[in-house]
Amino acid sequence: MKRKPRIIRYTSPAGGWGSMKSLAEILLRERIPLDGAKILMAQNKPDGFACVSCAWPKPAKPHAFEYCENGAKATAWEITSRRTTPEFFAKHTVDALRRWSDYDLEQQGRLTQPMRWDAATDKYLPVSWQSAFEEIGRELRAMQPDETVWYSSGRASLETSFIYALAARLYGTNNLPDSSNMCHESTSVGLTQSIGVPVGTTTLEDMEKTDCIIFFGQNPGSNSPRALHPLQDAHRRGVPIITFNPIREPGLLSFTNPQSPTEMLVTSPTPISTQYHQVRLGGDIAAVMGISKALIAADDAARNSGRVGLLDHGFIAEQTDGFDAFAEAARKISWQTLEARSGLSRNAMEATAAVYGRAQKTMVVYGMGITQHREGVEGVQMLVNLLLLRGNIGKIGAGICPVRGHSNVQGQRTMGISEKPELVPLDKYAERYGFEPPRNAGLNTVEACEAIIAGKIKAFLMLGGNFVRAVPEREAMEAAWSGMRLTVNVATKLNRSHLVHGEISYLLPCLGRIEKDRQATGDQAVSVEDSTACVHGSRGVRPPASAHLLSEPKIVAEIAKAALDPNPRIDWDAWVGDYALIRTEISAIYPDFENMETRMWEPGGFYRAIPARQRIWNTDTKRAHFIDPQSLAEDPDMPEKGTDVLMMMTMRSNDQFNTTIYGYNDRFRGIKGTRMVVLMNGNDIARLDLVDGETVGLATVADDRTREMTGFRVTAYDIPDGCVGAYYPEANALIPLWHHAEGSKVPAAKSIPVRVFKLDGSGGRVRAA
Ligand SMILES: Nc1nc2c(c(=O)[nH]1)N[C@H]1C(S)=C(S)[C@@H](COP(=O)(O)OP(=O)(O)OC[C@H]3O[C@@H](n4cnc5c(=O)[nH]c(N)nc54)[C@H](O)[C@@H]3O)O[C@H]1N2
Ligand SMILES: Nc1nc2c(c(=O)[nH]1)N[C@H]1C(S)=C(S)[C@@H](COP(=O)(O)OP(=O)(O)OC[C@H]3O[C@@H](n4cnc5c(=O)[nH]c(N)nc54)[C@H](O)[C@@H]3O)O[C@H]1N2
Ligand SMILES: [Mo]
């Protein structure tokens, strides 16, 4: 499948013909040319299905084609006509499959039947659902609740998530980590401290009314392409869009709407960013401090000469605290330090301040470039500081906009999937279902990994996702995984996590969200919450991939029934027979979801009121906090100047969804036919005596443990000096488990200190003489 790798410079806009071509190729490869196009028309439509790709909001007035290249790829991936059948498993031992690539594994298509790993033959063999549930129930009953982990990747619906979290707590554990522990947990922790809500404050309406957008470390061209529509509109209205990103991402530079025939013909792409600042990895806190410093200095000067200042002093006095300390820190820190730490010039920071200082309504949009650092929580809080300076939270057209990942990752947290019991209304659960929920803190993702490595976990339930591939410290994790007694994988496709399996291991194939879900009372709908706290209904349209599949709610309910004693207040069968009954339960526990049964079909979804948007600050002092970042004093990862340690980020290509690899091209970055590259600045290549195209190894520089990988192709790229990039998940073996954000424990996947080492002719390491 792999072709000869090629690296070429990409000069076209995001979207455009390249996007259409890429989509056609995918539909063809999944063998769904015509039918696939028809199904796409139902995507993100009222009464259609919510896209299974990202969590970008779905507008009330959808475009005729409310999907993007990558949403379409995700759809094609799910509705593929390829199947991973029992015959496939009969042909391959698990040991043999472990040598397959992520791409090849998922390329086999949808799982069709429940399977159990058989130790004698080292193969997955078909089993009946009933025997699967019986054994899983029996095993779980023999364990202590806190010896089990109930993971979820952020895709499962609100209904599934609600009963999954409930089942775990009835069983007795808060070990409910989810993918957001690797993603926006820095947001949930940071925003809660700063403004009293764990989620963003903006909606699509704000994007329509804003007059300034500042982007930090989020890549809409690949990861939320539908965001390019409102961005394009904003640009046409003359809204300045300022971007901070170490690399020049085409999706943030210019865009041609692939679904507008006129635009495709005249091919005049809309520029997106009006200023583009190539900040160094982890340099954002310093950059925002610089912008703040410039604003505060201008404000001081204006007020000293009797003019009106630049800051919103009324707002600061009435609604916030911590301003004086923050302003003092900004005045005190030197430009020299800020330039060194951000990799940007004072001019660049002042240029942003000048634009921001004039705008009336500013939105800050951000993603993994902020959250996946050691100082990820402070990074989020620094963005809030910037907004607070000019009263930009709690007014239309302004606010903080974290762009979430999985299509329902935010909703899962809202539904009680959380390892933090204090965030869940446990008293209400206790009252409604008449049991005593566990009150001790559960394990998040990093802690679950630690516990697995320490041999303390006996069972791992994986509701979607590819945990072993997504987490840091791959070698230790894979080795420890098989030490578990029971691994249960609810999945749509085969992946690596299923192959490193425990002593007893099940593959439980489920319906996808695009598929019709028929239960006792008829076809069922589900719901999801997007990145802007809007809740949408979703109805499957496609016949199931196999007659043996069960829905996720059904699988979760059957596991609950098998593992738990009956509870007179919970009729699992009735709930599964009619998901509206689950929604009644959701509304009873979570008042924001009152009448969700009808409201979820409102165009654009219904908005869950977010207090900070109304300037209600649910913080300790009932005010929004300015938080002076501590990490500016000392950055634990900053390589010393002049050493050969480089800072590495792990990246997503335009041809993947997390660990799902759609193909080996990263069209926008001009990388074709390979993912094993290390993007490097030309100066670093020369300084380290390397040549462009050479194959090298990378070694982590963090502690005594050796973490090395070989086979990376040195690729000259426009990236700041001292910074390099390699793809996720391939490079995850290089990330130490302890290397995570303070406060949120999000693995610091965007700031890994590494050294490049040369290889000899046979691929071995060249030792220093
Ligand atoms: N097609 C597709 N869509 C997806 C996904 C996918 O894999 N494929 N994944 C989904 C998920 S789960 C998530 S969380 C989101 C992820 O979406 P994003 O938040 O966009 O995540 P990444 O692509 O990992 O990184 C984002 C950007 O951060 C930049 N960056 C890296 N380090 C820094 C830094 O220190 N500072 C700044 N300012 N920028 C930095 C990178 O160059 C990159 O452009 O997308 C979701 N949508
Ligand atoms: N180095 C590095 N590591 C990272 C990141 C990074 O940027 N760099 N990003 C992190 C982030 S933001 C995230 S969110 C995590 C992602 O981690 P995960 O969410 O655990 O991983 P995914 O790759 O999204 O999971 C893909 C699998 O989900 C299953 N699946 C797909 N659809 C469905 C469905 O409808 N139902 C069920 N039950 N299963 C389904 C399929 O079997 C598929 O193989 O990775 C994190 N890891
Ligand atoms: Mo994510």
Residue to mutate, 158, 188, 492, 494, ligand 2, most ligand atoms under 8 Å from C-beta? 492
Centre of ligand 3 to C-alpha 740, Å, is 15
- Smallest CA separation from ligand 1 atom 44, residue: 219
Centre of ligand 3 to C-alpha 267, Å, is 33
3-state secondary structure of 80: coil
Residue to mutate, 23, 179, 188, 219, ligand 1, most ligand atoms under 8 Å from C-beta? 219
Q: Provide the pLDDT for residue 1.
A: 43
Q: Give the residue carrying structure tokens 């806009």.
A: 13
**Cis before 729? omega within 30:** yes
- Smallest CA separation from ligand 1 atom 11, residue: 405
- Smallest CA separation from ligand 2 atom 45, residue: 470
- Smallest CA separation from ligand 2 atom 39, residue: 464
Judged by average pLDDT, the poorest of 255-264, 407-416, 655-664, 686-695 is 255-264
Residues 554-563: pLDDT tens digits? 999 999 999 9
CB 412 near ligand 2, within 6 Å: no
Confidence of residue 635 (pLDDT cuts 50, 70, 90): low
Q: Provide the pLDDT for residue 261.
A: 59
Distance CA 17, CA 15 (A): 7
Distance CA 628, CA 630 (A): 6
Confidence of residue 266 (pLDDT cuts 50, 70, 90): low
Query: What is the percent of the chain with per-residue pLDDT over 70, rounded to a whole number?
Result: 93
Give the pair of three-digit tokens for residue 131: 């025997």
The answer to whether 235 touches 220, Cβ cutoff 8 Å, is no
Rounded average pLDDT over 738-745: 96
Kindly identify the ligand whose nearest atom is closest to the C-alpha of 663: 1
Compute the chain's Rg from CA coordinates. Answer: 25
- φ, ψ at 725 (rounded to 5°): -135, 140
Rounded average pLDDT over 441-454: 98
- Asked if pLDDT for residue 768 goes beyond 60, the answer is no
- Residue 281 CA: nearest ligand 1 atom is 35
The answer to whether 353 touches 298, Cβ cutoff 8 Å, is yes
Q: Give the residue carrying structure tokens 């993100």.
A: 44
Task: Record the pTM.
Answer: 0.95
Q: Provide the pLDDT for residue 21.
A: 73
Distance CA 582, CA 158 (A): 9
Give the pair of three-digit tokens for residue 443: 């394990």
Query: Which has more pLDDT, 143 or 3?
Result: 143
CB 538 near ligand 2, within 6 Å: no
The answer to whether 224 touches 532, Cβ cutoff 8 Å, is no
- Asked if pLDDT for residue 267 goes beyond 60, the answer is no
Residue to mutate, 77, 184, 245, 646, ligand 1, most ligand atoms under 8 Å from C-beta? 245
Q: Give the residue carrying structure tokens 């027979």.
A: 577
In CATH terms, 185-403 corresponds, of 3.90.320.10, 3.40.228.10, 3.40.50.1470, 3.40.50.2300, to 3.40.228.10
Rounded average pLDDT over 605-610: 92
Q: Mean pLDDT highest for which of 64-73, 566-575, 601-610? A: 566-575
Query: Which has more pLDDT, 36 or 122?
Result: 122
Give the pair of three-digit tokens for residue 34: 């015509």
Which are the contacts of 490, defined by CB distance < 8 A and separation ≥ 6? 461, 462, 463, 464, 508, 510, 552, 555, 556
Confidence of residue 740 (pLDDT cuts 50, 70, 90): very high
Centre of ligand 2 to C-alpha 11, Å, is 30
- Asked if pLDDT for residue 234 goes beyond 90, the answer is yes
Q: Which of 22, 513, 446, 39 is nearest to 222 (CA)?
A: 22
Residues having CB within 6 Å of any atom of ligand 1:
53-54, 70, 183, 216-219, 222-224, 244-247, 249, 279, 281-282, 284, 367-369, 403, 405-406, 649, 651-652, 656-658, 750
Q: Which of 316, 601, 658, 699 is nearest to 468 (CA)?
A: 658
- Smallest CA separation from ligand 1 atom 16, residue: 405
Q: Provide the pLDDT for residue 113.
A: 98
The answer to whether 376 touches 649, Cβ cutoff 8 Å, is no
- Residue 222 CA: nearest ligand 1 atom is 1
Element (H, E) at 758: strand 752-758
Residues 176-210: pLDDT tens digits? 999 999 999 999 999 999 999 999 999 999 999 99
Q: How many CA atoms lie within 13 A of 17 on its CB side?
A: 8
Give the pair of three-digit tokens for residue 669: 């970055």
| DSSP for residue 151 | E
CB 658 near ligand 2, within 6 Å: yes
Q: How far is CA 129 from each of CA 126, 201, 528, rounded to the nearest angstrom?
A: 9, 43, 27
Residues 373-394: pLDDT tens digits? 999 999 999 999 999 999 999 9
Distance CA 600, CA 127 (A): 37
Q: Provide the pLDDT for residue 769.
A: 39
Q: Angle 55-60-66 (CA atoms, 0-180°, nearest 5)? A: 60
- CATH number for the domain formed by residue range(s) 646-768: 2.40.40.20
Domain chopping of the chain, boundaries:
6-79, 83-180+408-610, 185-403, 646-768
Mean pLDDT of the chain: 93
- Smallest CA separation from ligand 1 atom 6, residue: 657
518-519 vs 504-509, strand pairing mode: unpaired
CB 330 near ligand 2, within 6 Å: no
- Asked if pLDDT for residue 440 goes beyond 60, the answer is yes
CB 22 near ligand 2, within 6 Å: no
Question: Which 3-state string (H, E, C) describes 102-127?
Answer: HHHHHHCCEECCCEEEECCCCEEEEC
Residues 145-178: pLDDT tens digits? 999 999 999 999 999 999 999 999 999 999 999 9
Give the pair of three-digit tokens for residue 274: 């009006």
Q: Provide the pLDDT for residue 508.
A: 98
Rounded average pLDDT over 362-371: 98
Give the pair of three-digit tokens for residue 181: 């522990």
Residue to mutate, 79, 182, 372, ligand 2, most ligand atoms under 8 Å from C-beta? 182
Backbone φ/ψ region at 467: left (φ over 0), alpha (ψ -120 to 50), beta: alpha
Rounded average pLDDT over 448-453: 98
Q: Provide the pLDDT for residue 33.
A: 59
- Smallest CA separation from ligand 1 atom 33, residue: 369
Q: How far is CA 234 from each of CA 263, 570, 653, 714, rounded to the nearest angstrom?
A: 17, 49, 26, 38
The answer to whether 534 touches 203, Cβ cutoff 8 Å, is yes
* Cross-strand pairs, 765: 759
Q: Provide the pLDDT for residue 9.
A: 66
Query: Which has more pLDDT, 408 or 252?
Result: 408
Rounded average pLDDT over 30-51: 77
- φ, ψ at 152 (rounded to 5°): -140, 140
3-state secondary structure of 754: strand
Judged by average pLDDT, the poorest of 226-230, 242-246, 347-351, 754-758 is 226-230
Q: Provide the pLDDT for residue 23.
A: 72
Helices (H), 501-632: 552-563, 572-577, 579-589, 596-599
Residue type, 206: D
Kindly identify the ligand whose nearest atom is closest to the C-alpha of 652: 1
Distance CA 238, CA 531 (A): 25
Q: Provide the pLDDT for residue 35.
A: 65
Counts of helices then strands in the chain (DSSP H, E): 32, 33
Centre of ligand 1 to C-alpha 218, Å, is 5
Rounded average pLDDT over 634-662: 84
Centre of ligand 1 to C-alpha 273, Å, is 17
Give the pair of three-digit tokens for residue 502: 């425990």
Confidence of residue 34 (pLDDT cuts 50, 70, 90): low
- Smallest CA separation from ligand 1 atom 2, residue: 223
Confidence of residue 580 (pLDDT cuts 50, 70, 90): very high
Distance CA 423, CA 425 (A): 7
The answer to whether 123 touches 488, Cβ cutoff 8 Å, is no
14-15 vs 254-256, strand pairing mode: parallel
CB 486 near ligand 2, within 6 Å: no
Q: What are the DSSP E strand ranges found in 43-162? A: 83-84, 110-111, 115-118, 123-126, 148-152
- Asked if pLDDT for residue 664 goes beyond 70, the answer is yes
The answer to whether 561 touches 137, Cβ cutoff 8 Å, is yes
Distance CA 260, CA 65 (A): 10
Distance CA 720, CA 289 (A): 20
Burial of 510 (0-12, 13-18, 19+ CB in 10 A): buried
* Cross-strand pairs, 257: none
Distance CA 94, CA 498 (A): 9
- Residue 658 CA: nearest ligand 2 atom is 23
Which are the contacts of 524, defined by CB distance < 8 A and separation ≥ 6? 517, 518, 551, 578, 579
- Asked if pLDDT for residue 2 goes beyond 60, the answer is no
Distance CA 380, CA 200 (A): 11
Give the pair of three-digit tokens for residue 406: 């999985």
- Asked if pLDDT for residue 546 goes beyond 90, the answer is yes
Give the pair of three-digit tokens for residue 178: 């989810």
Does the domain at 83-180+408-610 match CATH 2.60.98.20? Answer given as no
Give the end-to-end CA distance of the chain in Å, rounded to a whole number: 39
